[in-house]
Amino acid sequence: MVAASRDSNADDEHDPEGATIAFERAQLRAILSQSVADLAEHDAALERLAGAGYGACERCGQPIAPARLEARPTARLCIDCASARP
């Protein structure tokens, strides 16, 4: 999207498509940011898996239910601690 818009009018304020282009760019930034955060969570889960911390709640130390880990392999907290989170 960014490459496709390089040759277009850069003046979003006066371009009739400017608001749409700005919105699409904001969406792409949000998706990219979330993807980077998701990748970091997966990397952290792999580190815990390589060590001894995978499957243990980081707050209370109790085991995280296998069903929770199956649904959310990157879970750091058990259901009780996750639902008590502010």
Q: For residue 57, give the nearest of 31, 79, 34 by alpha carbon.
A: 79
Query: Does the pLDDT value for residue 73 go beyond 80?
Result: yes
pTM > 0.85:
no
What's the pLDDT tens digit per position in 14-71?
556 667 777 888 999 999 999 999 999 999 999 999 998 999 999 999 999 999 999 9
Query: Does the pLDDT value for residue 12 go beyond 60?
Result: no
pLDDT band of 77, cuts 50, 70, 90 = very high
**Cβ contacts of 17 within 8 Å, gap of 6 or more:** 8
Q: List C-alpha distances in Å: 45 to 7, 20, 62, 66, 84.
A: 42, 37, 17, 14, 21
